[in-house]
């Protein structure tokens, strides 16, 4: 079977060989690849930056002066196209590098590149003077990089940077150049000092003259300025006193305004406190009202509702009782009316029959009725007298007789008024009776 091999972006995986004698080669960066056992070869190539320190010792310049030059180069295996090999693709560049360095260690790769850089550094150093190398190191480094880049590029290597680290010699040539330059600088410095001293003396005299002129002019100006100062000071004092008075008045006015403002704020605070007190009292009244409502009003309403309900029930009961009683009375009255009606009809029939009989017998029958009624009339008349324990008659014997006679004489009219029968006429019709 086979294995899966993975690699990161800083490493190239070169897979070669395969089944059926395949000669195809694949390059993978930051990915994975499948490799068959026994028939597929998998190798890795680092893409990390390599730091090199090329050094050329005692290399003669164009003037024959031996110099020792050290530099620092940053290189890496090319993965993408560059300006020197723009016609190559990434796979081709990695293929070139893999052909050159696959199977070698990083140390061996560095040594190969280092020898190439040192060779170009020696060649370029032999074409330049010491002054050109020492004064313009950046141009020297750029020239080395420009010359060496195509050669290392054909090996699939890219030079990221190249700088000159140090330049020195063993014959004191650079030191001599420094001494000559130092002597020139010292000579120019001494001449400059002398000229500076001369110019300084001239300038000092001129400055002293100018100083005296300036002093006299300054003293005059000082006196003028002193006089102007005193005048201005008097004016300023007057203005200051005026301003102080105005400021004092303004201060007092402002203090009065501030006190008034403070008093207004205090009044506002009192108003707010009073409003809050009113709100608190209002809330207390509402609380009392709610408390009374909860403790008195609601129970009273409940009791009133209970009593009203009981009264309505009692009223309904009374109404129904009254209706029942009325119905009972109505029925009793109806029964009694019916009975009275029957009794009245019987009485009427009896009276009718009596009237018929009285009609047949005439006055005799009426007289009989009257006589039968007299005892009853007498009883009714005497009923009040029955409750009388004693009757006292005031007067003589003649008066009592007269009173009795008058009482008996008033009896027939009373009977006539009560019964409609003239007792005198009836008695006159009785044989042997006198009216």
| Alpha-carbon gap, residue 64 to 128, rounded angstroms | 10
Rg (CA), the chain: 81
What's the CA gap between 1 and 34, in Å, rounded?
10
Residue with tokens 């001369």: 198
| pLDDT given for residue 202 in this prediction | 85
In SS3 terms, 76-114 reads as: EECCCCCCCCCCCCHHHHHHHHHHHHCCCCHHHHHHHHH
pLDDT in the model for residue 81: 43
Pair of tokens at residue 148: 């060496």
* Tens digit of pLDDT at every position of the chain (435 positions): 667 777 877 777 777 776 665 567 777 787 787 666 776 677 787 888 889 899 888 888 888 888 888 889 998 887 754 433 333 444 566 777 777 777 788 888 889 889 988 888 888 888 888 887 877 788 888 888 888 888 888 888 888 888 888 888 877 777 777 666 666 767 776 677 777 777 877 888 888 888 788 888 888 888 888 888 888 888 888 888 888 888 788 888 888 888 888 988 889 898 988 888 898 888 888 888 788 777 877 777 778 788 888 888 888 888 888 888 888 888 888 888 888 888 878 878 877 787 776 666 666 666 666 667 667 766 666 666 666 666 665 555 555 566 656 666 666 676 666 666 666 666 666 555 554
The answer to whether the beta carbons of residues 5 and 33 sit under 8 Å apart is yes
Fold of 48-171: Tetrahydropterin Synthase; Chain A (3.30.479)
Residues linked to residue 77 through DSSP beta bridges, in sequence order: 157
Residues 71 and 11: beta-carbon distance below 8 Å: no
| Paired strand residues for 28 | 13
Evaluate the CA torsion angle 382, 383, 386, 391 in order and state its sign.
Answer: negative
Do residues 76 and 158 make contact, with C-beta atoms less than 8 angstroms apart? yes
Q: How many helices (H) and strands (E) does the chain have?
A: 10, 9
CB-based contact 46:13 (threshold 8 Å)? no
Report residue 259: phi and psi, to 5°: -60, -45
Cα 327 from chain centroid (whole Å): 77
Contacts of 131 (CB under 8 A, 6+ apart): 177
Neighbours of 171 (CB within 10 A): 11
Cα 355 from Cα 369, distance rounded (Å): 12
> Could you give the dihedral angle defined by the CA atoms of residues 423, 424, 428 and 432, in that order, rounded to the nearest 10 degrees?
80
- Inter-CA distances, 348 with 336, 341, 343, Å: 17, 10, 8
d(CA 60, CA 172): 14
* 419, HSE (Cβ side, Cα atoms, 13 Å): 18
């Amino acid at each position: 079977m086979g294995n899966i091999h993975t690699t990161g972006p800083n490493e190239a995986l070169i897979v070669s060989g395969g089944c059926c004698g395949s000669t195809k080669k694949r390059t993978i960066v930051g990915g994975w690849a499948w490799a068959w056992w026994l028939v597929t070869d998998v190798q890795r190539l680092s893409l990390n930056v390599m730091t090199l320190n090329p050094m050329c010792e005692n290399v003669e310049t164009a003037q024959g002066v031996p110099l020792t030059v050290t530099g620092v180069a940053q290189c890496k295996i090319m993965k993408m196209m560059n300006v020197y090999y723009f016609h190559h693709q990434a796979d081709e560049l990695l293929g070139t590098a893999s052909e050159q360095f696959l199977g070698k260690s990083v140390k061996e790769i560095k040594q190969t590149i280092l020898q190439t850089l040192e060779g170009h550094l020696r060649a370029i150093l032999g074409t330049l003077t010491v002054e050109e190398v020492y004064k313009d190191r950046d141009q020297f480094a750029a020239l080395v990089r420009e010359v060496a880049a195509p050669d290392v590029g054909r090996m699939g290597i890219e030079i990221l940077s190249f700088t000159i680290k140090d330049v020195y010699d063993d014959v004191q040539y650079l030191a001599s150049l420094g001494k000559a330059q130092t002597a020139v600088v010292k000579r120019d410095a001494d001449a400059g000092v002398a000229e500076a001293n001369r110019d300084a003396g001239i300038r000092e005299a001129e400055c002293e003259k100018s100083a005296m002129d300036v002093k006299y002019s300054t003293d005059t100006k000082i006196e003028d300025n002193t006089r102007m100062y005193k005048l201005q000071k008097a004016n300023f004092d007057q203005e200051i006193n005026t301003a102080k008075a105005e400021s004092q008045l303004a201060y007092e006015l402002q203090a009065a305004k501030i006190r008034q403002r403070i008093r207004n704020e205090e009044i506002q605070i009192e108003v707010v406190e009073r409003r809050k007190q009113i709100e608190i009292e209002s809330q207390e009244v509402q609380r009392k009202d709610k408390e009374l409502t909860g403790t008195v009003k609601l129970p009273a309403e409940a009791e009133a509702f209970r009593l009203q309900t009981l009264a309505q029930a009692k009223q309904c009961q009374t109404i129904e009782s009254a209706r029942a009683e009325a119905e009972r009375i109505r029925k009793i009255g109806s029964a009694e009316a019916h009975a009275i009606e029957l009794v009245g009809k019987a009485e009427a029939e009896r009276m009718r029959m009596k009237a018929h009989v009285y009609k047949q017998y005439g006055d005799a029958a009426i007289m009989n009725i009257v006589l039968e009624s007299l005892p009853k009339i007498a009883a009714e008349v005497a009923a009040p007298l029955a409750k009388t324990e004693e009757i006292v008659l005031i007067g003589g014997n003649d008066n009592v007789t007269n009173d009795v006679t008058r009482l008996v004489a008033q009896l027939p009219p009373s009977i006539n008024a009560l019964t409609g029968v003239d007792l005198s006429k009836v008695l006159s019709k009785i044989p042997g009776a006198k009216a």
